[in-house]
Amino acid sequence: MSFEEKVVESISRYKGEVIDVYQQTVKLPDGELANRDVVKHQGAVGVLALTDDGKAIFEEQWRTPIGKLTIEIPAGKVEPGEDLLETAKRELNEETRYEAGKIEKINGFYSAPGFSNEYMTLYKATNLRKVAKELPRDQGENLNIFELSLDEALKVVAEGKIEDAKTILAIYYWKANIK
């Protein structure tokens, strides 16, 4: 059985700096029509930045859509035409003021495939050192940067203080793969 839905009409409802919103009409496998609200996003990266003393770098920041502070790994959106690895390096510099001696891809995932095409790629950064040249942070980006050990990070997740999916995924990757 085929599950594929064919887009028969796509109407732009909003074009923003970070997202575009479309209302789409799709033809279902049985021939019926259905409506889909779709958020298009250029993609993002997240970075599990591990220090030489076995800790990871986290950031606390205000997230207006949910109206509260969050604890997250460094992350950010991919600029048009930008290589994903370069995005990871740039975001690590902008947000933490570190650069990695080694950076490698962990995996990737769709953040909310029920309504968005945003694809996030996770990286692991090691052999960290302070940057010689700091890149400017995004306008209005206020961050509190801090470090947690794996046990501390797992405790904060268990207490419900980390609610960000990419960060939880990165922490469990850390637990499963990095001794």
Answer yes or no: do 147 and 113 share one domain.
Answer: yes
CATH number for 127: 3.90.79.10
Average pLDDT over residues 146-162: 98
- Identify the pLDDT of residue 179: 63
DSSP result, 38-63: EEEE--EEEEEEB-TTSEEEEEEEEE
- Identify the pLDDT of residue 135: 80
- Identify the pLDDT of residue 115: 97
In a domain, residue 1? The reply is no
Average pLDDT, the chain: 96
Domain boundaries, position 97: 44-177
47-66 CB burial, b ≥16 within 10 A, e <16: bbbbeeeebbbbbeeeeeee
- Identify the pLDDT of residue 48: 99
pLDDT in tens, 14-25: 999 999 999 999
Degrees, nearest 5: CA angle 152-123-74:
60
pLDDT in tens, 64-81: 999 999 999 999 999 999
Provide, rounded to the nearest whole percent, the portion of the chain with pLDDT above 70. Answer: 99
Total count of domains within the chain: 2
